Amino acid sequence: MRMPAANLGLAWTLVALGLACSSAGNGQGGNGGTPGDGTSGVDVASYASSGPVGTTGGSVELEGGPSLTIPAWTLSTEAEVGLRPSGNAPSMPSGWSKVSGWFDVGATRSDLAVDPSAPVEIRVPITPPAGSMDHPGLQLLVAIRGIIVPIDGTYEETTGMFVAELLSVPPVFSFSVGFNPNIVRLRSTDSGPLFAILAKKVSALGGWPTLDWQIDYDSQKLTDDEAKSVLAWGSLAAGIYSDAGFKAPLLYNAMETNGMQFWHVNLIATGSHYKQPEDTKSADAARKLGRINLAVDDVRQPTTNSYGGGFSIVAHELFHSVFEAYQVPRTCFNYTENGVQWCYESTTGFNEGLATAVAYQLEQGQAVPRPSPAATTLELPHGWFDTANSAAAYQNQDFYVYLLRMSGLDTIRQYVEALALATVGTPASVAESLEPYATALETASIGFPATFHEFYATYVADRAYIRTSAGYVWTDEPDAEFAGKANMLARSLFPSAYDLKGSDCTVSETDAVCTVTLKDVPPLSARVLLADWVDKNQMPTGMQQAALKAKFKAETSKGQVSIFVFGENYGESADEARIGSYDGSEVELKDVAQKWTNGKVLLVQGGGGPATITVTMTYSTSDLSEACQAAQDWMCRCKSAGPQYGCMVYKVTINQICANIPPEQSCDETCGNMAISYAEAYGAEDPSTWNYMCPNAPL
């Protein structure tokens, strides 16, 4: 007897282990990873059978045993594949019994994926146990990095072979045919009125072949009602994605003899390992098996769980398969485990960030960040990932929360379509690998009347400082006494904020020019300069500095840079002190050091990068002929303005004051007389009391 064949035309990769495994992290676990060349480091010469595979395909087989065949014209690279009986066979999962032995597969490359229309075929000779014919519990079990997932297959009665199909050959994995009599197959069409209510007409934009689902689950581990909930969540999420115009997922699609189609999901019992961050790294390999495998524990999570409830989990995994349908170009970064190099893909940050934000919004009914993982810094580039810190990929959700608040799923779809236009090369770093995606986003439209870098710069300014309702992403920002406080820098988002120094400045008779150069700034990342023009603790009671005009501009060696300046009065800002330009062109802030005692200079690198950004700040003042008669004695030390940044900036004012002193009277004499007179007026015994601003100035 031959079981109904599965339609694998839409099967593809899926992060089956990715959603519920991320813990809170800061996303800064090193330099991101080492670019890979695709080699796995696996030596297949010692395998019982090995052979070449490439553009013309190839196969390996054991005498009287299983075989693995790669069709012709589906690979773009050459590799060696090996097959052998397993010397260290995995334990069968609870409830399963072996129908065949365990076998190991090894490949000399970590990126052997084939065309979905021509999958890799595994054939295993078996004698089906009693009661296993036509039973959904007869499956191929694939063990990859300690995780076992079931794969549907077909038993060919005429050849005695169990046949299953994959879309890639991971660098190392094991397989066996197993049988579990407790496996139940349930379809959404079998599930009663609940699913009739959830059924949605397939959108003309999406054109999905079906919104129905089928689930294979162990009836000893999951109840029928829980299984029906999974089907309901899948149908609902599929309807929403389809109506938003997303491509149909590249996901295992079971076609029945009556022509009906069902997206396929497996429920597996060992749920705890899906919650560990290190298992995200396993996802890159397991995802290539093209199925959704949901852990029982994750299905039972409440919506208050830190990574979401069951609906969020199903919607998250389904979005991964939708993302895969767009075939966004990618390159590999090495992740090494037990001497084997695995492929950590350059799209991981986009894929995980999008799936996290979108799925959590569907469940929560509003665009809010999933509590786990934590927020990350804005100094890291958009799309950041790190092979040493799996949480980093999920932390990209922050931007997508903002994007969802500003628009919706239609914009998310256009965003993914733009990523698919990227042209990747051979990057030298994670930051460099993200540049092609930034370029693709910049040249495409995602539904806003602005370029992508302008929209991203707006997000940074809103999130980091302005904090509108859309920009108030995390409830504890901006690290202040009052969460959600606007016009205040969220300092934790900029751990490397730069404090301007006197050595950054040169002073002439008319201007103070301060220059800062920032190197290797990644694409779509931000930096902050901290400018303190006045220290209120150094100002005499009732005194006030003369006003300076300050001009700011930024230039980048690559792409485009945006600059925003926020003037503050002892830490309090206002709308009138908010200036900026998306192209780095010069902007002017008036009343610096008088009305605005300090400020923040926010820089956002555009699509080009890594780049060098040069920021120039020019401070000047108008004629100060009456300044010596104003209350300025505490700054009137003409020969030295001291080493501090504020002193260097304000030294131009001192020079202006000195320039207007009558020629018959020395500057120092005038300053001294003024200091003495004010000291007498305020009852101070020491005139230097009013010279705190520049403590190094000679008396």
Mean pLDDT of 382-389: 94
Q: Do 635 and 612 fall within a single domain?
A: no
Torsion, Cα 34 38 40 46, to 10 degrees, reads: -160
Q: Any idea which of 90-104, 155-169, 283-297, 632-646 has the lowest mean pLDDT?
A: 632-646
**Any idea which residue has 């696996």 for tokens?**
42
Identify which of 262-276, 463-477, 616-630 has the greatest average pLDDT.
463-477
Domain presence at residue 696: no
Which stretch of DSSP H or E encloses residue 438?
helix 430-443
* CA gap 352, 368 in Å, rounded: 15
Domain presence at residue 423: no
Q: Do 604 and 635 fall within a single domain?
A: no
Domain presence at residue 446: no
> Tokens standing for 634?
């505490």
* Whole-number CA gyration radius for the chain: 32
In angstroms, the Cα distances linking 686 to 537, 670, 682 are: 17, 17, 11
* CA gap 605, 378 in Å, rounded: 11
Domain presence at residue 295: yes
**pLDDT computed for residue 226 by the predictor:** 92
For the stretch 344-369, what's the b/e string if a residue is b when 16 or more beta carbons lie within 10 angstroms of its beta carbon? bbbbbbbbbbbbbbbbbbbbeeebbb
Number of C-alpha atoms within 13 angstroms, CB side, residue 139? 26
Domain presence at residue 14: no
> What is the DSSP secondary-structure string of 365-406?
SS----SSS----TTSPTT---TT-THHHHTTHHHHHHHHHH
- How many residues appear in the chain? 699
Q: Do 597 and 641 fall within a single domain?
A: no
pTM for this entry: 0.86
Judged against a pLDDT cut of 70, whether residue 653 lies above it is answered with no
The total of structural domains in the chain comes to 3
* CA gap 126, 161 in Å, rounded: 6
CATH of the domain at 198: 2.60.220.30
**pLDDT computed for residue 147 by the predictor:** 82
Q: Do 579 and 682 fall within a single domain?
A: no
Judged against a pLDDT cut of 70, whether residue 118 lies above it is answered with yes
Domain presence at residue 472: no
Q: Do 615 and 638 fall within a single domain?
A: no
> What is the DSSP secondary-structure string of 630-676?
SS-GGG--TT---SSHHHHHHHHHHHHHHHTS-TTS-HHHHHHHHHH
Give the neighbor-by-neighbor strand order of the sheet with 154-156: 58-61, 67-70, 120-125, 161-166, 154-156
Domain of 678 in residue numbering reads as 627-691
* CA gap 200, 188 in Å, rounded: 13
In angstroms, the Cα distances linking 390 to 27, 195, 348, 629 are: 8, 36, 10, 63
**pLDDT computed for residue 571 by the predictor:** 84
Last residue of a domain, one of 387, 418, 449: 418
Q: Any idea which of 68-77, 300-309, 555-564, 657-666 has the lowest mean pLDDT?
A: 657-666
Task: State the greatest distance between any 2 C-alpha atoms of the chain, in Å, as a whole number.
Answer: 116
Judged against a pLDDT cut of 60, whether residue 70 lies above it is answered with yes
Domain presence at residue 411: yes
Last residue of a domain, one of 620, 636, 667: 620
Q: Do 193 and 213 fall within a single domain?
A: yes
Torsion, Cα 590 596 598 601, to 10 degrees, reads: -40
For the stretch 688-693, contacts whose Cβ atoms lie closer than 8 Å and that sit 24 or more positions apart, written own/partner, are 689/540, 690/540, 690/543, 690/633, 690/634, 691/634, 691/635, 691/637, 692/535, 692/537, 692/538, 692/539, 692/634, 693/535, 693/538, 693/539, 693/634, 693/635, 693/642, 693/644, 693/646, 693/647, 693/650
Q: Do 96 and 27 fall within a single domain?
A: yes
Q: Do 516 and 579 fall within a single domain?
A: yes
Last residue of a domain, one of 601, 620, 639: 620
Mean pLDDT of 614-641: 59
> Tokens standing for 295?
């852990």
Judged against a pLDDT cut of 80, whether residue 421 lies above it is answered with yes
Compute φ and ψ for 254, nearest 5 degrees.
-85, 125
Q: Do 654 and 569 fall within a single domain?
A: no
Mean pLDDT of 418-440: 95
Residue pair 67/61 in contact (Cβ under 8 Å)? The answer is yes
**pLDDT computed for residue 632 by the predictor:** 43
Mean pLDDT of 510-519: 93
Q: What is the pLDDT of residues 487-509, one digit of tens each?
A: 999 999 999 999 999 899 998 87
For the stretch 52-56, contacts whose Cβ atoms lie closer than 8 Å and that sit 24 or more positions apart, written own/partner, are 52/78, 52/79, 52/80, 52/81, 53/78, 53/79, 53/80, 53/81, 53/112, 53/169, 54/78, 54/79
Judged against a pLDDT cut of 60, whether residue 666 lies above it is answered with no
Mean pLDDT of 374-378: 95
Q: Do 601 and 662 fall within a single domain?
A: no
Residue pair 247/203 in contact (Cβ under 8 Å)? The answer is no
**Any idea which residue has 């084997």 for tokens?**
340
Q: Do 608 and 636 fall within a single domain?
A: no
Q: Provide, rounded to the nearest whole percent, the portion of the chain with pLDDT above 70.
A: 78
Between vectors from CA 176 to CA 173 and to CA 181, what angle results, nearest 5°? 135
CA 104, 105, 107, 110 dihedral sign is negative
* CA gap 542, 544 in Å, rounded: 7
Helices 310-325 + 348-364 axis angle, to 10: 140
**pLDDT computed for residue 659 by the predictor:** 59
Domain presence at residue 425: no
> Tokens standing for 341?
């190099």
Residues with Cβ within 8 Å of 190's Cβ and at least 6 positions away in sequence, in order, are none
Please count the other Cβ atoms lying within 10 Å of the Cβ belonging to residue 463: 26
Q: Do 592 and 687 fall within a single domain?
A: no
Judged against a pLDDT cut of 50, whether residue 630 lies above it is answered with no
**158 burial via Cβ count (<10 Å: 0-12, 13-18, 19+):** exposed
Between vectors from CA 3 to CA 81 and to CA 66, what angle results, nearest 5°? 25
CATH of the domain at 565: 2.60.120
Q: Any idea which of 73-77, 295-299, 461-465, 658-662 has the lowest mean pLDDT?
A: 658-662
CA 273, 275, 278, 284 dihedral sign is positive
